[in-house]
Amino acid sequence: MKNYFRSLSYAILLMFSLSAILPIAARAESGITDSEILLGVSNAQSGPAEALGKGVSTGLSVYFDKINKAGGVHGRTVKLITTDDKYEPSAAIKNTEQLLNEDKVFALIGYVGTPTAKAVTPLISREKAPFIAPFTGAEFLRSPVLPTVFNLRSSYNDEMEAIVAQLVDQKHLKHIALFMQNDSYGQAGESGLNAALEKRDMSISTVGTYERNTTDVTDALTILRSANPDAIVMVGTYKACAELMKQAKESGMNPIFVNISFVGTSALIKASGEFGEGSYVSQVLPSPYSSDLQIVKEYRDDMTAAGKADLIDYTSLEGYVQAAMFTKAMDAAGDDITRTGLIKSLNSLDVDLGGLTLKFTPDDHQALDKVYLTKLVGGKPETVEGF
């Protein structure tokens, strides 16, 4: 009888111990409390690419500030921890380790750039951390599908196909050159351009390169001038691309210049001045200035209300839509918030964001695939049908 009561006492003690532990375990999800959702950001807040990082961060903050004022996500406010990687892979790794291991964020959002995304992907995969809408069209984030990576924007392959369709199919140009950043970003663009040209039994006529976070384009210009191309497709950041157009036009070159969306259109306009006039930029979102889609109207209204009307551009619009995508997925995931629940929700997300439809499946982690063409006219990007 004594042994029976002793066993019963142990059982009761164990029951009470587990009842005390289980609620703590249930709340042990990284970056989640009863009142807050913690998200980590690493992008360029300083350096030659800072306009891109700051633009995306502005869009994120404006949207989440609105959501927080309205009660948050399932009653929790969204808080961003933003770190500066200066568009350098080593800094992005360090920041991401800090965000995941020390700050214990729930998910990562607002990352900018192919080389930085490539550097942190192994860490993100190992930690099974949701990686939301990186600002890059690189194919390695899309194929094969990475379980925790969810891309918002169209790919660089999509952009290059749209560009080549204009240059070759519509204008019948024969000599297409490439100006590219000498790293994984440039290589991603080169791969997309090659694929589009090879479909038409063509190849890149010549390639000029420059080093990341520099504007030394002298050697690239020498190579490109020697080929005398009909068009130069540019896979770089705004300062380097602006410098190339400036030096090329001053030297008498007059090809068609085409940038892809990552360049940062408003930053390119400011950096290039008169030398950017008449050049083209492919975009992955509708015009932040003139689109009548409801999501874009809300973006303009919210930016204005936040005192940031002067920062309305494609880059901050993308950050805003990133935040909206995350919020809609969290809404659908329900109140019991976990990383697993968010990933499950994203895998079946099919939502209309005021005229912009975002859709994922387990086999397709790219929400958008449309490409828009713009021409720089009078210091502004005008949406055009062709070149």
Q: Is residue 30 part of a domain?
A: no
179 shares a domain with 132: no
> Of 216, 248, 283, at which residue does a domain stop?
283
Tens of pLDDT along 59-100?
999 999 999 999 999 999 999 999 999 999 999 999 999 999
Write out the residue range of the structural domain in which residue 231 sits. Answer: 156-283
132 membership: H or E segment, kind and range: strand 131-132
Q: Report the pLDDT averaged over residues 197-222.
A: 98
315 shares a domain with 262: no
315 shares a domain with 259: no
Cis peptide before 229 (omega within 30 of 0): no
pLDDT (0 to 100) of residue 164: 98
In the sheet where 107-109 sits, what is the strand order? 77-84, 36-43, 107-109, 131-132, 149-150
CA distance 338 to 28: 9
172 shares a domain with 73: no
Tens of pLDDT along 98-120?
999 999 999 999 999 999 999 99
Tens of pLDDT along 4-33?
444 444 444 444 444 444 343 334 689 999
Q: Is residue 331 part of a domain?
A: yes
Q: What is the CATH number of the domain that holds 166?
A: 3.40.50.2300
Tens of pLDDT along 269-289?
999 999 999 999 999 999 999
124 shares a domain with 44: yes
130 shares a domain with 194: no
Query: Residue 185: which of 141, 229, 246 has the closest Cα?
Result: 141
Q: How many domains does the chain have?
A: 2
146 shares a domain with 45: yes
Q: Is residue 366 part of a domain?
A: no
174 shares a domain with 141: no
Q: Is residue 5 part of a domain?
A: no
